Amino acid sequence: MGGYGDVQLLRDDGLRLDGRKLDESRPVSIQAGILPAADGSAMVTHGLNVAVAAVYGPMEAHPRKIQRQDRAVIDVRYNMAPFSTSDRIRPGFNRRSREISKVTAEALESVVLVERFPRSKIRVEIEILAAEAGTRCAGITAASVALADAGIPMRDMIVGVASGKIEDTVVLDLDKAEDNYGQADLPAGILPNTGEIAFLQMDGDLSPEEFDLAMEYNFKAAKEIHEIMVDALKSRYEEGDN
Amino acid sequence: MVELVPNLLRQEMARLAEQDARIDGRGQFEGREITLETDCLYNAEGSAKVTMGKTVVYAGVKFEIRTPWPDRPSEGSLMCGAELRPVAHRKYEPGPPSPESIELGRVVDRGIRESGCIDMNSLCIIPGEKVWGVMIDIHVLSDGGNIFDACGLAAIAALRTAIVPAERFDVGDDYTLSVNGTPIMASFTRVGGRYVYDPCEEEELGGDERIHITIGDEGHLHSLQKGLRGVFTPQEFAEIFSVAQNKCAELRKIVAKKEAN
């Protein structure tokens, strides 16, 4: 968190700079099955973020040393396109994308029925085409829809959501300014059907009460976004386009 | 990952070619349906999305301020790169840029650069001190065949919509990048013994060498590339060159139509 306390992020009328209420998410839209070469795919537009996910597999796990005798491994790559940010990003993996890839893979392994596919690998490729705070959450949401689109069995989908704190106030779904100048960010991956949490990170400063409220907002957002995820998958099959 | 080329697929390609047919029902020089979107990415200063059949490609333009080369103090620079990331197909693996992605980026780069559509002197801010570096990054999201043409089209369409972000760099007001021309690429692959335009995935897998031709507004050649194993005759080239002239003119109209909207 930047923690620049002198930047005004809440307006005098109590709304946020872009006119949102404290517990209001940015608009989310989702399309499933947008990449013909992949076994499953999805595009999530969350505010100005654009995240695309492609799923390949289950396929043979190689090199052989990554194989697990009793289950599939999920190989996630989160990558930001060079043109996705204000300053161009040099292509290639960096520490940030490696960490996000790791925790995303672990979250997805918690919901995919990996024991159904011993010794195999499921590849999940997350590409961020436009970034405006919250790309890891948009990526997790996209990956979940892409896995479902690929027909991979799961206990539940994961919805990527985030809350945070600006001007000592807990708010849902930080945008770029709020992320840069806010006091805390709490991204979570929520299983909407079971109410469990498969992914959690946080940085900044939150009291126990603030954490509870932020998670309450996260669960509320997860429920809303889950409906959009389900609709995206349903309309994919209504079109009959496999 | 080295893909296995099924002998049966090659035999089928030869059989189809004898009957003047293609595996997806197209004519020898018939392209797939193309859609072009521009200004579709929030943080890019120019952007485009191209779909051609099962191929999906994005291109984004970014600018940076750099010091000019000492021998060319008033010239900016242009760079075009492509990434064939594992998202695009199961055959692509993670790792440093493959020879294939470097070739792709360089062939697209040459077509745009050599057409002279960007006047490098127009990218000068302060001679000898500050010039603009223009970077076109191409991101292939789905490889359904003929990514070269899709990448070439996305790159020039993105470049032609680019806004120079001068305000953000504190060097004046934003303005539209001046692009004087629309170089377009047309690609051919030998399939079943003859060249076809705009090969699909199966045709690339079961085909042989490929030829990429970039043509400018005046019908002049700006880049050529022959790739993969195989040879061709001058007569064969003459035929596909004349087809390429027509195809490039058609695609140029698609770009112009998009810009007029």
Residue A83 CA to residue A230 CA, distance in Å, equals 30
Say which of B53, B135, B143 has its CB closest to residue A88. Answer: B135
CB B144 within 8 A of CB B201: yes
Nearest CA in chain B to A57: B90
pLDDT at B178: 95
Question: What SS3 string covers B49-110?
Answer: EEEECCEEEEEEEEEEEECCCCCCCCCCEEEEEEECCHHHCCCCCCCCCCHHHHHHHHHHHH
Separation CA B190–CA A166 (nearest Å): 60
User: Mean pLDDT throughout A68-96?
Assistant: 93
Interface touch A125/B87, C-beta < 8 Å? yes
Q: How many CA atoms lie within 13 A of A113 on its CB side?
A: 8
What's the ipTM? 0.89
- What tens digit of pLDDT does each residue of B197-231 get? 999 999 999 999 999 999 999 999 999 999 999 99
Task: Give the 3-state secondary structure of residue A39.
Answer: coil
Residue A1 has pLDDT above 80, yes or no: no
Is A67's pLDDT higher than 70?
Answer: yes
Q: What is the mean pLDDT of chain A?
A: 94
CATH code for the domain defined by B7-260: 3.30.230.70
- The 10s digit of each residue's pLDDT in B131-172 is 999 999 999 999 999 999 999 999 999 999 999 999 999 999
Domain range summary for chain B, segments of one domain joined by +:
7-260
Using an 8 Å CB-CB cutoff, list residues of chain A that contact chain B: 34-38, 41, 48, 50, 52, 54, 56-57, 59, 77, 79, 81-88, 91-93, 123, 125, 127, 129-132
Task: List the domains of chain A with CATH numbers.
Answer: 28-238 (3.30.230.70)
The answer to which of A46-50, B93-97, B100-104 has the lowest mean pLDDT is B93-97
Q: What element of type H or E holds A108?
A: helix A95-109
Identify the pLDDT of residue B135: 97
Tell which of B87, B93, B169, B202 to mutate to test the A interface (max A CBs under 10 Å).
B87
Contact partners, residue B112, CB within 8 Å, separation at least 6: B78, B80, B118, B136, B155, B156, B159, B183
d(CA A133, CA A61): 33
- Nearest Cα neighbor of A217 from A27, A87, A24, A64 is A24
> Which positions in chain B touch A56 (Cβ < 8 Å)?
86, 90
For testing contact with chain B, the best of A43, A83, A87, A128 (most B CBs within 10 A): A83
Say whether pLDDT at A240 is over 60: no
Tens of pLDDT, residue by residue over A97-152, are 999 999 999 999 999 999 999 999 999 999 999 999 999 999 999 999 999 999 99
* pLDDT at residue B1, rounded to an integer: 55
- Structure confidence at residue A239 as a pLDDT band (50, 70, 90): low
Sequence-ordered list of residues with C-beta below 8 angstroms from that of B183, at least 6 positions apart, any chain = B111, B112, B114, B115, B117, B152, B156, B214, B215, B216, B217, B222, B223
Contact B86 A123 (CB under 8 A): yes
Is a pLDDT exceeding 60 seen at residue A5?
no
How far off is chain A from B63, nearest CA to CA, in Å? Answer: 8
| Nearest chain A residue to B200, by CA | A37
pLDDT of residue A237: 76
Q: What percent of chain B has pLDDT over 70?
A: 98
pLDDT for residue B3: 65
State yes or no: pLDDT of A229 exceeds 80.
yes
- CA dist., res. B248 & res. B48, Å (int): 18
A37 vs B201: CB contact, 8 Å cut-off?
Answer: yes
State the DSSP code for B120. Answer: G
Mean pLDDT of chain B: 95
| Per-residue confidence (pLDDT) for residue B95, from 0 to 100 | 87
Residues of A in contact with B56 (CB under 8 A): 34-36
Q: A44 - beta bridge partners?
A: A30, A51
